[in-house]
Amino acid sequence: MPDFSHLYSINATHMKASTIRELLKLTQKPDIISFAGGLPAPDVFPVEDLRVAANAVFDGPARKALQYGTTEGDDGLRNEIIKFEAKQGVTIAKENLLVVSASQQALDIVAKLFLNPDDYVIAGRPTYLGALQAIQSYSAKVLGVPFSPAQDGFDMDELRRRYAEAKAAGKKLKYVYVIPDFQNPAGFCWSLEKRKALLEFAYETGLPILEDSPYREIRFIGEAIPSIYELDQKGANKGVVINLKTFSKILAPGTRIGWIMADPALIAKCVVAKQAMDLCTNVFTQMWLAEYMKTGKLYGVIESTREKYRVKRNLMVEALRRYMPARDDLSWTEPEGGLFLWVTLPASIDTEKLLLKAVEKKVAFVAGSGFYIDEPEHNSMRLNFSYSTHEQIEEGIKRLAEVVKEALAASGD
Amino acid sequence: MPDFSHLYSINATHMKASTIRELLKLTQKPDIISFAGGLPAPDVFPVEDLRVAANAVFDGPARKALQYGTTEGDDGLRNEIIKFEAKQGVTIAKENLLVVSASQQALDIVAKLFLNPDDYVIAGRPTYLGALQAIQSYSAKVLGVPFSPAQDGFDMDELRRRYAEAKAAGKKLKYVYVIPDFQNPAGFCWSLEKRKALLEFAYETGLPILEDSPYREIRFIGEAIPSIYELDQKGANKGVVINLKTFSKILAPGTRIGWIMADPALIAKCVVAKQAMDLCTNVFTQMWLAEYMKTGKLYGVIESTREKYRVKRNLMVEALRRYMPARDDLSWTEPEGGLFLWVTLPASIDTEKLLLKAVEKKVAFVAGSGFYIDEPEHNSMRLNFSYSTHEQIEEGIKRLAEVVKEALAASGD
């Protein structure tokens, strides 16, 4: 076996395998009830309508769909995305839009464009693991900001305090990463007030905001709040927000298609970066999704996804209320959208250790520590409610509560 | 418009838009005969068989195909790739294999794993532009090595001389990038002897070889020569070769699927790098191509591609003989496979300037200078023969020869 270790880049030494993805392999045994993944419910995928759309590509522009495409993305798909965004109140032109191989590629592109080794990205504590991986893969770091007790966005005082401290220490800050709508992992949704405050912070500091919105359309309770991208656009319109969208949660992740919306000059930079990464996004799939979007049926799929996830979220919340010990230091978020909720356990419990006990009892979750780069909290867990069946949610939370009770008893807590 | 220029990374300042891709936009007017692209002939795409395979996915594992997949790649596709390679004499296991979003992603992954700013990659003069872009996008550099007069691989004396010089100057060399089979842009094919010599060089220096083989199966004259990956495997088996393959030239580039074959430890590193880049390759397309490969019809497509390209290559060579001025300092390669040939013009001609004249006469090519990072040669051009029709090849070379004759007359040469 060759030893290339002396040849690897500094970046390579900073890349970390996702412990979540490694754990997923362990928890994919058929008899385990897993709340660990982040998978959409497969029964929402509109298989037959997608088949019709794929066959329309074979009937029509098949040879174009099988050929190389432009880095910017298929024109037909870009037109459909522009209409989709317009319906939600966001007006974009083609020059604001880049089709990407789903959001993770967008996270990679933005990280590559902005980050030198030891630069900092401001991000929530906790935040999406894939964003952390992209940042680390360029040897950059995260300045973590806690959320306010109301869980409606960053603690803005802490943001300003930590920003000032970092600047004073000579740290190079490059952008602010947020998932305002039903964030992964905790399900937090930013209030209008906090979105405006963050935009104001961006205007003051000159830092762009990377707004990741994979779950934005999956709101099942309450009214939509404008995205930060939209707030900027309809306000001072300074173009400081980079907004990431994807078909992964509103249609089907196996298609690996997403899009970046941003200022045209930044999109042009993203195009150059993407060229060296994969030349262009899967052309057939782009034309296939364009055909599907033309039918207008995506809106029905989103509506039915919301309905299904609302029921599952309610089932999980009710099961938590029913089975978990009632204590002031044991709580969970009750999100208005998305795929995840976040359980905070008494401080005596380490959820990484708890997971081993849970897997013995045939139930799995993700330990919260994976969603922090620095000083992780050890007493939290992420639960996914989109993928499991109703029966699995009931039975799985019951098992999980037993594991928690046993751990509390064992620690004498 | 926001100005983020002070926030961009060092890498971002080194990224260069592909002048070729920019030029392609200019040359895509319908009345221009373009030899500039690198597109496969669309009439080789087996549209109906691909439709049947896609529908088999819709009939069968559709919900799995629309879901997230593993970073390593779909098991079914990996099995088919293993059989495909075995048929060519290359024995690999799953741990030697990573499915990627086509070869450009593999070039990105390898560059990210090995290259720090100012590191060097050894590569041919000229070589594939996309590889140069990937290298530059990590702020790394290229140590160019000229080909031997026989065009059967590097001038090995020059390789050793330049390597020793670079080492003496303290340059950090990381890998050797080659395209031994019908390289882009010149169509050169490495002899068995030169392949063995390069492998020996790798053993001696400890540098891995990145062997890019997109055109390997598209040989239309002569017998296949073992890949360097195969030579290592069947010889000392030191695992120093990273071999890149893709469906882009043997089936259809719009599917954006390729694969990396390498030592398992390196594949494991590639998996971690890819996770942060796009989580996984398009799952639907992987299962779709697996279905298609199961039919065994890919071999027929490759055979028919060879047949079609042989005819087109012969037509282009004959037209060059017929129309180009007969001079000792005007020559072209006559490749035994691939998609391109390379014309070297008298030193008085600058092909970047010649291109403007050519476009006026409604014919296009790629100026050779784009295929060098350092000290480009200015009197060469790349011609693609796979995409144009027979009539276009005849008429296009006729026009091109006129432009060359006029340029020679104008320069008094």
Q: Where are the domains of chain A?
A: 5-45+300-410, 47-298
CA B206 to chain centre: 24
pLDDT digits (tens, 9 = 90+) for A47-81: 999 999 999 999 999 999 999 999 999 999 999 99
pLDDT score recorded for residue B29: 76
Reported ipTM exceeds the 0.95 cut? yes
Q: Which residue has the higher pLDDT, B338 or A20?
A: B338
Average pLDDT, chain B: 96
Three-state DSSP at B44 gives: helix
Q: Under CATH, which number does the domain A5-45+300-410 receive?
A: 3.90.1150.10
pLDDT digits (tens, 9 = 90+) for A205-224: 999 999 999 999 999 999 99
The mean pLDDT of B135-143, rounded to a whole number, is 97
pLDDT score recorded for residue B373: 85
Inform me whether the pLDDT recorded for A305 exceeds 80.
yes
The mean pLDDT of B109-117, rounded to a whole number, is 98
Name the token pair of B257: 């699927």
Do residue A113 and residue B42 have CB atoms under 8 angstroms apart? no
Could you give the CA distance from residue A400 to residue B105 in angstroms, rounded to a whole number? 41
Could you give the CA distance from residue B236 to residue B241 in angstroms, rounded to a whole number? 12
pLDDT digits (tens, 9 = 90+) for B170-206: 999 999 999 999 999 999 999 999 999 999 999 999 9
pLDDT score recorded for residue B22: 66
Q: Is A243 on the interface with B (CB under 8 A)?
A: no
Q: Is B10 on the interface with A (CB under 8 A)?
A: yes
Average pLDDT, chain A: 96
pLDDT score recorded for residue B23: 66
Cα-Cα-Cα-Cα torsion A99, A104, A105, A107, nearest 10 degrees, comes to: 100
Do residue A272 and residue B16 have CB atoms under 8 angstroms apart? yes
Answer whether A149's CB lies under 8 Å from A92's CB: no
One-letter amino acid at B192 equals L
Inform me whether the pLDDT recorded for B144 exceeds 70.
yes
Report the percentage of chain A scoring pLDDT > 90. Answer: 92
Answer whether A312's CB lies under 8 Å from A390's CB: yes
Compute φ and ψ for A391, nearest 5 degrees: -65, -40
pLDDT score recorded for residue A20: 66
Residues A47-298, CATH architecture: 3-Layer(aba) Sandwich (3.40)
| pLDDT bracket for residue A17 (50, 70, 90) | confident
Residues B10-45+300-410, CATH architecture: Alpha-Beta Complex (3.90)
Count CB neighbours of A394 within 10 A: 17
The mean pLDDT of A399-412, rounded to a whole number, is 96
The mean pLDDT of A315-340, rounded to a whole number, is 98
Could you give the CA distance from residue B176 to residue A381 in angstroms, rounded to a whole number? 46
Do residue B113 and residue A8 have CB atoms under 8 angstroms apart? yes
| pLDDT bracket for residue B133 (50, 70, 90) | very high
Overall CATH class of domain B61-297: alpha beta
Do residue A272 and residue B50 have CB atoms under 8 angstroms apart? no
Inform me whether the pLDDT recorded for B244 exceeds 80.
yes
DSSP structure string for B53-83: HHHHHHHSSHHHHTS---TT--HHHHHHHHH
Q: Is A50 on the interface with B (CB under 8 A)?
A: yes
Interface test with A, best of B3, B9, B115 (most A CBs within 10 A): B9
Count CB neighbours of B402 within 10 A: 15
| pLDDT bracket for residue A1 (50, 70, 90) | confident
Inform me whether the pLDDT recorded for A391 exceeds 90.
yes
Domains B10-45+300-410 and B61-297 belong to one CATH topology: no
pTM: 0.97
Q: Is B137 on the interface with A (CB under 8 A)?
A: yes
The mean pLDDT of B215-242, rounded to a whole number, is 97
Q: Is A65 on the interface with B (CB under 8 A)?
A: yes
Q: How far is A184 from chain B (nearest CA, A)?
A: 16
Q: Is B212 on the interface with A (CB under 8 A)?
A: no
pLDDT digits (tens, 9 = 90+) for B54-70: 999 999 999 999 999 99
